[in-house]
Amino acid sequence: MAMERPVQLVLDASLLLEPSDPVGSGGTDEAPPALRRGVEALLRRLRYSNLGVAICHPEEMPTNASGFLEKTAAIYSFGYILLPAPTGNHSLNELMLEWSRTSSCFYATSIVDEDLFSELQNNGWRVIAVDNQCGTKGSGVVNVGKIQELLLTLTALIKKEIASSSVLTVGYAMKQSREEDFAKRGAFPLYPSKNGLIFVPLSFEIPLASQLQEVDIALHKMTDEIINIDPNCSIDFPKGISFSGGMSEIIRFVEEHPSFCIIDPFKNISPLLDRLQIQEILVKLQEFCIEGRPKLRAPQSLKVKNFDAVDLQKRLAEANLLFPIIVKPQVACGVSDAHNMALVFQIGEFSNLSVPLPAILQEYIDHGSKIFKFYVIGDKVFHAIKNSMPNASSLKLSSGDEPLTFNSLKTLPVATKEQVLQTRVEDGKSLDINLVEEAAKLLKDSLRLTIFGFDVVVQEGSGDHVIVDLNYLPSFKEVPDSEAMPAFWDAIRQSYESKKGKMQT
Ligand SMILES: O=P(O)(O)O[C@@H]1[C@@H](O)[C@H](OP(=O)(O)O)[C@@H](OP(=O)(O)O)[C@@H](O)[C@H]1OP(=O)(O)O
Ligand SMILES: Nc1ncnc2c1ncn2[C@@H]1O[C@H](COP(=O)(O)OP(=O)(O)O)[C@@H](O)[C@H]1O
Ligand SMILES: [Mg+2]
Ligand SMILES: [Mg+2]
């Protein structure tokens, strides 16, 4: 994808500031300048958009407002330009003229100024008027009803400028913290990525259907939009799950448009919400093993609906599940207590155990406090080594006769420095990388997911490679951006092309 001309976006003060007294009234009772509703979200997205962005305002703006805008520009590392006072021959700011020569330029504003508009358009700028009362029909100005529609309109205009049929627009929906993590890595350029993808956030404040009609692909982490999961019914999308309004609109749109490319289909993600279904997937993988290579397997597991000791003792024996046992909620993600776990050393410790039910009991694998996090991103497999929980014996010391309860995302009892040092370097029991990479490809074929992660621990003694977790769309933070981002973009395009390929057959 040849990089086209850079894109320059200039945001007029009228678009950004709460309309207070008319500009220049200098009235003393003016409220302090503030950003209009929806502007902070717009600026946050533009910051990592790979577009050139500048804030502009008329020279004669009162200093408290211009100072506020200058500070705002600095916070988001945007440019900051003053529009010359309207003299006879409107002369654009020098910089804007310079940009006209080198870039595709867009001017977004909320006030109509016919002279300025025609001056801009004579210099090749596209003007976008946002939610201004008086329409500006026919003057080549693009009208946008609400500020939440601005980015989608901008991507449509950019795509037209580039006029290359291979450019695809990806609308994305995920929780803000995850979006920020990805955006900071450059994952969501509003300007085509190397392989021709343009990313735009889907707004849950305006109807989703009209937005989805404008994009080629929707990328989502549906587990960020789960309101609750019925723990007593086996999860089988959409059964047992209730979603936010916006996510429900996306789900409905996809049902009504079977050829639309959703990454990933909800039914394909659904098993990863349930640690029992994850276990079943991993047990199937056990059939894959290569002579003379370490065994790749799932932990011995057992689902329980309660922790009543009598019944439990029998069931543990039947499942030949020995202590120590790690106890996890059957619901794997999407709800706040999906990561509340416990390490239990004896049957008595199950009484009043605070792990949500139904629960999955798993053999605890001594793995020298080292975990291998594998990330499958399209047809690429990456892995990172992270500090993990130490061998059970050292955890038992610190927990007396109590179970060790923790939250796996927040308070995982990882090994202390001295515990890591104590761990004998298991000779020959290290990771068999290509065994796991082979398994990763099989997993990808059976899961039919574009991006997923799974955790492998190597059991001390046996050297068994035990897969203890499987996640949909993790953050793969440990993979360098230079490798992770191109893989991320390729994965999305591959999924799109294979979906379109299937539609044709
Ligand atoms: O279990 P892991 O490997 O730590 O992966 C987690 C996991 O994907 C988790 O998602 P979820 O299970 O809550 O859906 C992610 O947390 P949030 O969704 O709360 O952000 C983590 O980002 C994942 O960690 P990692 O990115 O290191 O794989
Ligand atoms: N069966 C197991 N044996 C030993 N350690 C485990 C086992 N299962 C999980 N762990 C440890 O607990 C951590 C959290 O468990 P995991 O299933 O990944 O929970 P989550 O899905 O919340 O991330 C793992 O990263 C690993 O360090
Ligand atoms: Mg995990
Ligand atoms: Mg997980």
**pLDDT digits 0-9 by tens, 336-364:** 999 999 999 999 999 999 999 999 999 99
Question: b or e along 49-87 (b: 16 or more beta carbons within 10 Å of the residue's beta carbon)?
Answer: bbbbbbbbbbeebbeebbebbeebbeeeebbebbbeeee
Kindly give, in sequence order, each residue whose CB lies less than 8 Å from that of residue 304, ignoring residues fewer than 6 positions away: 312, 315, 357, 358, 359, 360, 361
**Closest atom of ligand 2 to CA, residue 471:** 21
pLDDT higher than 90, residue 441: yes
Q: For residue 331, what are the β-bridge partners? A: 274
Q: Report the C-alpha gap between 113 and 119 in whole angstroms.
A: 10
Q: Taking residues 270-285, report their average pLDDT.
A: 97
Q: Which fold has domain 168-264+491-504?
A: Rossmann fold (3.40.50)
Most confident of 19-28, 90-99, 132-141, 197-206: 197-206
Is the minimum distance from the CB of 274 to ligand 1 under 6 angstroms? no
User: Mapping DSSP to helix (H, G, I), strand (E, B) and coil, where does residue 220 land?
Assistant: strand
Closest CA to 499 of 270, 273, 239, 268: 268
In angstroms, rounded to a whole number, what is the distance separating the alpha carbons of residues 126 and 142?
Answer: 8
Atom of ligand 1 nearest to the CA of 375: 28
Asked whether the predicted pLDDT for residue 20 surpasses 90, the reply is no
Q: Using CA atoms, how far apart are residues 272 and 242, in angstroms rounded to an integer? A: 16
Q: How far apart are CA 50 and CA 378, in angstroms?
A: 23
- Residue 1: the pLDDT is 42
* pLDDT recorded at residue 60: 87
Q: Answer whether 301's CB lies under 8 Å from 337's CB.
A: no
How remote is the CA of residue 105 from the centroid of ligand 2, in Å? 50
Mean pLDDT for the stretch of residues 469-478: 97
DSSP annotation of 106 = E
Say how many Å lie between the CA of residue 272 and the centre of ligand 3. 12
At 26, the pLDDT band (50, 70, 90 cuts) reads: low
Q: Which residue has the higher pLDDT, 473 or 90?
A: 473
Q: Which residue has the higher pLDDT, 131 or 471?
A: 471
CA angle at residue 75 from 50 to 132, to 5 degrees?
75
Q: How confident is the model at residue 2 (pLDDT cuts 50, 70, 90)?
A: very low
With a cut of 50, say whether residue 253 has pLDDT above it: yes
Helix (H, G, I), strand (E, B) or coil at 309: helix
Q: How does the average pLDDT of the chain come out, rounded? A: 92
Say yes or no: CB of residue 178 within 6 Å of ligand 1: yes
Q: Which residue has the higher pLDDT, 399 or 413?
A: 413
Taking the CA of residue 478 as reference, the ligand 1 atom at the shortest distance is 27
- Cis before 264? omega within 30: yes
- Cβ(468) – ligand 2 distance below 6 Å: yes
Top mutation candidate among 326, 405, 414 for ligand 2, by most atoms within 8 Å of CB: 326
Q: Which of 217, 293, 295 has the alpha carbon at shortest distance from 259?
A: 217
Let me know: does 9 contact 150? Beta carbons within 8 Å.
no
Asked if pLDDT for residue 56 goes beyond 60, the answer is yes
How confident is the model over 189-199, as a mean pLDDT?
A: 94
Residue-wise pLDDT tens digits, 210-248? 999 999 999 999 999 999 999 888 899 999 999 999 999
**Ligand 1, from 475, 477, 479, 488: best to mutate by most atoms within 8 Å of Cβ?**
475
Question: 22 pLDDT band (50/70/90 cuts)?
Answer: low
Domain boundaries defined on the chain? 7-20+31-158, 168-264+491-504, 273-472
Which atom of ligand 2 is closest in space to residue 364's alpha carbon?
3
- Residues whose CB is less than 8 angstroms from the CB of residue 31 and which lie 6 or more positions away in sequence, other chains included: 18, 20
For residue 299 and ligand 2, the question of a CB distance below 6 A is answered with yes
Q: Which residues touch 291 (CB under 8 Å, ≥6 apart)?
A: none
Q: What is the mean pLDDT of residues 130-136?
A: 72
113 ligand 1 Cβ < 6 A: no
- In this structure, are residues 485 and 256 in contact, taking their beta carbons and an 8 Å threshold? no
CA of 243 from ligand 4 middle (Å) equals: 20
- Nearest atom, ligand 1, residue 473 CA: 8
Q: Specify the higher pLDDT residue, 194 or 34.
A: 34
Cα(217)–Cα(493) distance, rounded to whole angstroms?
9
Decide whether any atom of ligand 2 lies within 6 Å of the 395 Cβ: no
Q: Give the residues across from 10 on adjacent strands.
A: 54, 107
From 337, 455, 467, the mutation candidate for ligand 2 (largest count of ligand atoms within 8 A of CB) is 455
Residue 474 CA to ligand 1 center (angstroms) comes to: 5
What percentage of the chain carries pLDDT values higher than 70? 94
May I ask the CATH architecture of the domain 273-472? Answer: 2-Layer Sandwich (3.30)
Least confident of 175-179, 270-274, 290-294: 290-294
Q: Indicate if ligand 2 lies below 6 Å from the C-beta of 362.
A: yes
Mutational pocket test of ligand 2: of 274, 335, 365, 389, the residue with most ligand atoms within 8 Å of the beta carbon: 389
Residue 361 CB–ligand 2 contact under 6 Å? no
* Closest-lying ligand 2 atom to the alpha carbon of residue 362: 1
Ligand 2: atom nearest CA of 367 is 4
Cβ(152)–Cβ(209) under 8 Å?
no
Which distant-in-sequence residues (6+ apart) come within 8 Å of 348 by Cβ?
Answer: 309, 401
Whether residue 113 is predicted with pLDDT greater than 80 in this model: the reply is yes
- Establish whether residue 412 lines the binding site of ligand 2, counting it when its CB lies within 6 angstroms of any ligand atom: yes
Question: What is the SS3 assignment for 233?
Answer: coil
Residue 455 CA: nearest ligand 1 atom is 3
Closest ligand 1 atom number to CA of residue 373:
3
Give Cα 420 to chain centroid, integer Å: 32
| Ligand 1 neighbour 333 (Cβ under 6 A) | yes
Ligand 2 neighbour 452 (Cβ under 6 A): no
Distance 451 CA to ligand 4 centre (A): 14
Number of the ligand 2 atom closest to the C-alpha atom of 339:
22
Instruction: Give the whole-angstrom CA distance, residue 46 versus residue 226.
Output: 27
What's at 187, amino acid-wise? A
326 lines ligand 2 (CB under 6 A): yes
Q: Where residue 162 falls among pLDDT bands split at 50, 70, 90?
A: confident
Q: Does residue 365 have its Cβ closer than 6 Å to ligand 2?
A: yes
Higher per-residue confidence, 164 vs 384: 384
Per CATH, 168-264+491-504 and 273-472 having the same topology is answered no
125 CA from centroid of ligand 4 (Å):
48
- CATH 3.40.50.1000 matches 7-20+31-158: yes
By CB atoms closer than 10 A (0-12, 13-18, 19+), residue 88 is: exposed
What's the CA-to-centroid distance between 356 and ligand 3, angstroms? 17
